[in-house]
Amino acid sequence: MVSPRSELLPALGAVLAGRPGHGALEVHYQPVVAVADGSPLGAEALVRWRHPQLGLLAPDAFVPLAEHAGLGGRLDAHVLETALGQLAAWDVEGQWLHRVGVNLGRTSLHSPALVDTVLQACDRTGTPPDRLMVEVLEHEELDLTAARLAAVQTLADADTTVAIDDFGAGHAGVGLLGRLPVGVLKLDRSLLPGSPRTAAAGAPDARAVLEGVVALAAAVGVEVTAEGVETAGQREVLARLGVPHAQGWLYARAMPAAAFASWWQDRVAATATAASATAAAVG
């Protein structure tokens, strides 16, 4: 059982301050793959907290707490720097990812230092901004003033990809799509056929809703990635609709960097073998 807020909050502040005795933050990586053949393309960086008493805590256990306590920006900056540094390290090792996605919450997006935080992290790690995707989280409604919109536009102009995460859930909807320089929609798992959800008998067919969202993205020239893909049936539906990219437990869970690197190498080899076999059969 996770400790109450009153116990977790001081410990989280101590972890972010680098004080010992409260565990450590870890960044895990979930692969993003091509729907067509499963070939690996990139990753989403997801934070975990290895707590000394509670074990490995998932983001839901502490990220909302960080946001409400005003620590969200520091947490996001830690994940950003770690993920970009890891991407640069993989480059040196010859393991090339197209890009890495990092979540930015309300505190980060409202910060006047947003542009400096992101671009300076790119500079420090030697990672070009076009290898980064900032994923806008809107579990609470954002106050997108003209200055904040200009900051996000500056990141887009620097070739950073802007994505809306969990599109179709919470506040992450069409209104946000119409206000940001969006390059990618990351579809929430609730939009996928077969996902657990409660709906009225007369609600529209789930596949029709998904098809409409994919068509909307195509109409405004935005790339689509499906999140939470867990079954081959869901993958087949996405392939038929022309959704290019996906992530989810069907492919792999989020993993520590070393495990991710091993998975990536195995996946690249398996994809190359399958492609060679297909070419030989056609020839």
Indicate the pLDDT class of residue 169, thresholds 50, 70 and 90: confident
Domain boundaries, the chain: 23-192+204-266
Indicate the pLDDT class of residue 2, thresholds 50, 70 and 90: low
pLDDT of 6 reads 66
Indicate the pLDDT class of residue 24, thresholds 50, 70 and 90: very high
pLDDT digits (tens, 9 = 90+) for 148-164: 999 999 999 999 999 99
Region 101-124 average pLDDT: 97
Q: For the purposes of burial, counting CB atoms within 10 Å of the CB of 120, is it exposed (0-12), middle (13-18) or buried (19 or more)?
A: middle
* Rounded-to-integer distance, Cα 195 and Cα 207, Å: 11
What rounded mean pLDDT belongs to the chain?
92
pLDDT of 4 reads 62
* 145 pLDDT higher than 80: yes
Residue type, 177: L
* 1 pLDDT higher than 80: no
Residue type, 20: P
* 223 pLDDT higher than 90: yes
| The model's pTM | 0.93
Output the six-digit token pair for 13: 């502040």
Second CATH level (architecture) for the domain 23-192+204-266 = Alpha-Beta Barrel (3.20)
Q: For the purposes of burial, counting CB atoms within 10 Å of the CB of 2, is it exposed (0-12), middle (13-18) or buried (19 or more)?
A: middle
Indicate the pLDDT class of residue 206, thresholds 50, 70 and 90: confident
* 198 pLDDT higher than 80: no
**Long-range pairs for 12-18: beta carbons < 8 A, 24 or more residues apart:** 12/49, 12/62, 12/65, 12/66, 12/69, 12/71, 13/69, 13/71, 15/49, 16/71, 16/74, 16/75, 16/78
Question: Among residues of the chain, what percentage have pLDDT more than 90?
Answer: 80
